[in-house]
């Protein structure tokens, strides 16, 4: 639950955080205390925003709405009911969590700039409501906090007391972000950010994951907003529900490195002190001169560090830290027994598709197709380009819902399940790859495979053990620390298979896993598929490499023009005149006969 404080990454991080306290206490300056409080507050806000904006990849530009809800809730409870802000902040967090769920459920289905625009609209609506509820909120004039000095009211004469509380909020927010990043939930968020379809194929409910991220981020942002209102002792709608604030905290995370734990704080430490000092030193040259600092830093980062400071420098810094004493690797738990051992007896029907029909407008892509995959076999599906193989494949994995017919899967207890969504198919035991490899490019090979392993475990160590075992099967052990984007085409294809195998499927669907490979990679892939079958996993493969298909398949199904053309053993199928005609045309068949 807690990091090993004897590991260099832990104690170096603790020392770096303590420096935020040591510097202002050493200077004993009110401005130094104020600057440190602001760094802690905005570092925590950027870290909280990073959960939804960095991990989940949802660019929320109206995130200050939760800061405003938290600050107003705590302040109103103090003014009207005399409730301590230590309780008021939790009330604000609850209100923000509900608001986040209401806002996020419809808007998270939007893509691109539309989600960002929707969050800005929600922010503006809340600001206008606060302005118009003048009797309750003070309207545009804002509210002054009663100056009740004491810990109970979170109001102090000494700024060092505020700094200690702000530091506590920062540490708590960083701990939550660290826990999420190392958890199954964090891996799922990054998978959704990188490739949502591939995430669904390993059992991720994308909407549910993004909604949970929005709720957690909103609650943390609200609590920090409650404290900041007590620190400022005054709030008004234009500051509490500020688009500028939303952009500012997003920019800190962007500069530091989206999706990293330390990145948002690093961006805050880099930019905020420089901007605040520029505000004081350059204010004589005109208001807003400090904004120039933000712009210059942002332009430099985008030009030279497009993945942020943590994205470009993080790996180098970690390598240096790992050379310090105490950086020994921990022992991993043994990988659990593969679920394939509990598959149906060899030869029994495992995945059954009956009378599948799929139309796209006036085009009938699938016309009464019935396929049965038996336990322990390799079934090859072939056909000319445009025959409808991929449409059938997507129906077998839940990515396309058939207009007619049914797809069902035999469960370990002998019952039949009829999943309806890609993640439901994955959870039921159907793994799949994609025709065009879809790795999570920002993650390492090990982390990519762990994403599949997390389907059946929440434990980070157990998922890593499963991933290493699967990497051995797919010949990826030497590449575990390499970023997925750096792999060759053959490596990416094997990584797709490894990620699917880590979900412990009973049926594995391979979509042209050998397409575009060189001869040596094709040989490795053939051996890999045989090893997969030997573990007890049934394999259905679409493949244009005819020699590989003949060498591997126990049975072959031929699809042409959306219909079943032929089914049987490889030798009979490839010599069938109808199959030859489908591939090479009637003219070739007639010439052969002549």
**CA dihedral of 443, 463, 172, 100, whole degrees rounded to 10:** 70
Per-residue model confidence (pLDDT) at position 584: 56
196 and 94 within one domain: yes
Interatomic CA distance for residues 82 and 426, integer angstroms = 52
Q: pLDDT exceeding 70 applies to what percent of the chain? A: 89
Let me know whether 295 and 399 are in one domain.
no
The answer on 24 and 81 residing in a single domain is yes
The verdict on 294 and 158 lying in the same domain is yes
The predicted structure's pLDDT at residue 550? 84
44 in any annotated domain: yes
The band of 340, judged by pLDDT with boundaries at 50, 70 and 90, is: very low
Q: Which of 14-23, 323-332, 374-383, 509-518 has the lowest mean pLDDT?
A: 323-332
pLDDT at 540: 93
**Any idea what the CATH number is for the domain that residue 166 is in?**
1.10.3470
What pLDDT does residue 290 have?
Answer: 64
CA neighbor of 37 nearest in space, from 247, 308, 298, 273: 273
pLDDT at 339: 45
CATH of the domain at 557: 3.40.50.300
In a domain, 443, yes or no: no
Render pLDDT for 50-89 as a digit per residue (tens, 0 to 9): 999 999 988 888 999 999 999 999 999 999 899 999 999 9
Residue 588 has pLDDT above 50, yes or no: no
Shared domain for 174 and 25, answered yes or no, is yes
Split at pLDDT 50, 70, 90, the class of 3 is low
Q: Crossing angle, helix 243-256 and helix 64-81, to 10 degrees?
A: 130
Condensed to tens digits (0 to 9), the pLDDT of residues 262-275 reads: 899 999 998 888 88
Can you tell me whether residue 148 is helix, strand or coil? coil
pLDDT digits (tens, 9 = 90+) for 233-265: 999 999 999 998 999 999 999 988 888 898 999
| Dist CA 108 CA 189 (whole Å) | 13
Cα–Cα distance measured from residue 377 to residue 79, given in angstroms and rounded to the nearest whole number: 72
Average pLDDT over residues 85-110: 91
| Domain of 417, in residue numbers | 344-438+506-593
- Given a contact cutoff of 8 angstroms between Cβ atoms, the answer to whether 376 and 538 are in contact is yes
Residue 329 domain-assigned (yes or no):
no
Q: Is the dihedral of CA 486, 489, 490, 492 positive or negative?
A: positive
- Mean pLDDT across the chain: 86
Strands (E) located in 430-582:
430-432, 507-511, 538-542, 555-560, 563-568
Total count of domains within the chain: 2
Instruction: Give the pairing of strands 404-410 and 563-568.
Output: unpaired
Q: Are residues 16 and 100 in the same domain?
A: yes
Q: In what order do the strands lie in the sheet with 363-374?
A: 363-374, 349-360, 404-410, 416-417
**Does residue 115 fall inside a structural domain?**
yes
Pair (279, 385) in one structural domain: no
Question: Does 329 have pLDDT greater than 60?
Answer: no
Tell me the whole-structure pTM to 2 decimals: 0.86
> Is residue 461 one of the residues assigned to a domain?
no
203-229, pLDDT tens digit by residue? 899 889 999 999 999 999 999 999 999
Domain end call among 273, 290, 321: 321
Same domain assignment for residues 148 and 288: yes
Question: Is 290 in the same domain as 372?
Answer: no
Are residues 400 and 297 both part of a single domain? Answer: no
State which of 321, 356, 376 marks the end of a domain: 321
What is the chain's Cα-based Rg? 29
**pLDDT tens digits, residue range 454-473?**
998 888 889 999 999 999 98
| Residue 132, in any domain of the structure | yes
3-state helix, strand, coil in the chain (%, to 5): 60, 10, 25
Same structural domain, 308 and 351:
no
| In a shared domain, residues 299 and 382 | no
> Has residue 483 been placed in a domain?
no
Residue 261 domain-assigned (yes or no)? yes
């Amino acid at each position: 639950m807690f990091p090993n404080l004897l590991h260099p990454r832990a104690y170096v991080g603790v020392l770096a955080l303590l420096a935020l306290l040591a510097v202002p206490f050493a200077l004993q300056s009110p401005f130094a205390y104020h600057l440190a409080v602001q760094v802690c507050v905005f570092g925590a806000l950027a870290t909280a925003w990073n959960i939804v904006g960095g991990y989940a990849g949802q660019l929320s530009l109206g995130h200050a709405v939760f800061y405003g809800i938290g600050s107003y809730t705590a302040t109103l409870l103090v003014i009207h009911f005399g409730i301590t802000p230590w309780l008021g902040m939790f009330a604000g967090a609850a209100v923000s969590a509900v608001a986040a769920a209401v806002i996020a459920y419809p808007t998270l289905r939007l893509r691109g700039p539309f989600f960002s625009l929707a969050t800005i609209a929600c922010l503006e609506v809340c600001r206008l409501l606060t302005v118009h509820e003048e009797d309750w909120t003070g309207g545009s004039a804002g509210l002054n906090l009663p100056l009740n000095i004491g810990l109970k009211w979170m109001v102090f004469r000494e700024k060092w007391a505020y700094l200690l509380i702000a530091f506590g909020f920062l540490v708590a927010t960083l701990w939550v972000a660290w826990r999420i990043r190392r958890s199954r939930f964090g891996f799922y968020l990054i998978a959704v950010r990188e490739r949502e379809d591939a995430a669904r194929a390993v059992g991720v409910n994308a909407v549910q994951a993004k909604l949970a991220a929005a709720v957690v981020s909103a609650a943390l942002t609200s609590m920090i907003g409650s404290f900041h209102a007590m620190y400022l002792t005054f709030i008004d709608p234009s500051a509490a529900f500020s688009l500028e604030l939303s952009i500012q905290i997003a920019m800190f995370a962007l500069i530091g490195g989206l999706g990293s734990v330390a990145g948002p704080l690093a961006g805050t430490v880099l930019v905020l002190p420089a901007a605040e000092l520029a505000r004081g030193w350059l204010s004589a040259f005109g208001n807003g001169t400090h904004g120039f600092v933000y712009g210059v830093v942002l332009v430099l980062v985008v030009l030279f560090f497009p993945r942020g400071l943590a994205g470009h420098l993080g790996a180098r810094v970690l390598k240096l830290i790992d050379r310090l004493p105490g950086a020994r690797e921990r022992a991993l738990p043994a990988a659990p027994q593969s679920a394939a051992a509990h598959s149906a007896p060899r030869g029994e029907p495992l995945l059954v598709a009956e009378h599948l029909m799929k139309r796209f407008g006036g085009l009938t892509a699938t016309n009464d197709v019935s396929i049965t995959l038996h336990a322990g076999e390799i079934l090859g599906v072939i056909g000319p380009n445009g025959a409808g193989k991929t449409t059938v494949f997507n129906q077998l994995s839940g990515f396309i819902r058939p207009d007619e017919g049914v797809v069902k899967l035999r469960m370990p207890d002998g019952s039949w399940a009829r999943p309806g969504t890609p993640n439901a198919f994955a959870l039921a035991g159907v793994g799949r790859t994609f025709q065009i490899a879809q790795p999570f490019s920002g993650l390492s090979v090990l982390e990519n495979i762990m994403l599949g392993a997390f389907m059946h475990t929440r434990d980070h160590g157990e998922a890593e053990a499963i991933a290493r075992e699967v990497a051995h099967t797919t010949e990826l052990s030497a590449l575990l620390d390499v970023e997925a984007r750096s792999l060759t085409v053959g490596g990416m294809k094997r990584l797709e298979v490894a990620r699917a195998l880590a979900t412990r499927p009973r049926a594995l669907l391979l979509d042209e896993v050998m397409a575009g490979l060189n001869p040596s990679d094709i040989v490795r892939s053939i051996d890999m598929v045989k090893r997969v079958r030997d573990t007890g996993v049934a394999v259905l493969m679409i493949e244009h490499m005819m020699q590989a298909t003949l060498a591997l398949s126990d049975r072959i199904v031929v699809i042409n023009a959306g219909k079943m053309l032929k089914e049987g053993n490889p030798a009979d199928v490839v010599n069938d005149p109808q199959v030859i005609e489908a591939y090479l045309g009637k003219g070739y068949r007639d010439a052969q006969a002549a």
